[in-house]
Amino acid sequence: MNPIKAVLVGLCFLYSAVYAQDSYAQEIEEVVVTGLRASERSMPGTYLRKAGDFLLLQVDVSNDTREEKVRKEEIYATLRTALAAANRDAAIELSVVDENGLVIPLKVDSATVVLRPGNRPDTSATRISVKTKIPANEANGQALISKLKDFVEGIKVTGRTTLDPDGDVDISIVSPHQYRDEIIGLYAADAKKITAALGDDYKVITTGIDRPVEWVRMGLLELALFVPYKFDVVPSTVSTFVNAPVME
């Protein structure tokens, strides 16, 4: 094969592999919804409101056995007990939430379970999430919270390990970017109504519609997904338009 052609084929194969991995990562991405992904932006008028995929209860895990090695062993043993209990309950999953808000399945190893010093001397601590799927219809948020708390209370701890559920719960969504086309469709329908109401003398110029999907929590179990677009209404005779920057 021609050397140049071989290089091009190799690059195409590499690009395809990277693209496939990136696409797969987007498909399985699960993120916690705690507020605006970009808090400095205001939410636009058109957005998609839906229930989250999972309800998560954050649980602080700590141990104050004097020897550090024993503390780690007792925490790990407790987490293994919790995983075994979750495997017996099809409605419960255990995970950790990383610094980027991504939800990762719990594995009892040093890469997933990050132990940090606790609030007292000779104490180690970490945090896990106990989660359950939010039903598509007629979900009872308080019943789901009670289920998560009951699960935590039923875990048999090892040694001096303690499990302390957080007072608040989070919701998560799987692959939020999959809803982009639906969000754009909602905006297109809204823009069509606006132009129809204004008549032929005016038109709508939209900016930001190409930006990634963002999200914000709207209630105990619901969130809003949106693209941070903006639009301006101008006379239809305008052929050139420059959007002036917003002064801070």
Separation in Å, CA 82 to CA 2, 33, 127, 166: 58, 24, 13, 17
> pTM higher than 0.85 for the full model?
no
229, part of any domain: no
Distance CA 115, CA 100 (A): 18
| Parent domain of 138 | 51-174
Number of CB atoms found within 10 A of residue 75's CB:
26
Per-residue pLDDT at 244: 56
106, part of any domain: yes
135, part of any domain: yes
Separation in Å, CA 227 to CA 53, 70, 147, 214, 231: 20, 49, 34, 6, 12
pLDDT tens-place string over residues 174-194 = 999 999 999 999 999 999 998
Per-residue pLDDT at 205: 87
160, part of any domain: yes
188, part of any domain: no
Distance CA 53, CA 181 (A): 19
Number of CB atoms found within 10 A of residue 5's CB:
9
223, part of any domain: no
Number of CB atoms found within 10 A of residue 134's CB:
20
pLDDT tens-place string over residues 40-59 = 457 888 999 999 999 999 99
Domain count of the fold of the chain? 1
- pLDDT per residue, tens digit, the chain (248 aa), is 443 343 333 333 333 333 333 333 445 699 999 665 544 457 888 999 999 999 999 999 999 999 999 999 999 999 999 999 999 999 999 999 998 899 999 999 999 999 999 888 899 999 999 999 999 887 799 999 999 999 999 999 999 999 999 888 999 999 999 999 999 999 999 999 988 998 888 888 888 999 999 999 988 999 999 999 988 888 888 777 666 554 44
CATH number of the domain within which 89 lies: 3.30.70.600
Per-residue pLDDT at 16: 36
Distance CA 100, CA 111 (A): 16
Q: What are 130's strand-pairing partners?
A: 57, 94
139, part of any domain: yes
246, part of any domain: no
Nearest 5°: CA angle at 209, between 51 and 237?
135
Distance CA 222, CA 53 (A): 9
Phi, psi of 97 (to 5 degrees): -110, 120
Task: Count Cα neighbours of 194 within 13 Å in the Cβ-side half-sphere.
Answer: 17
**How far separated are the first and last CA of the chain, in Å rounded?**
59
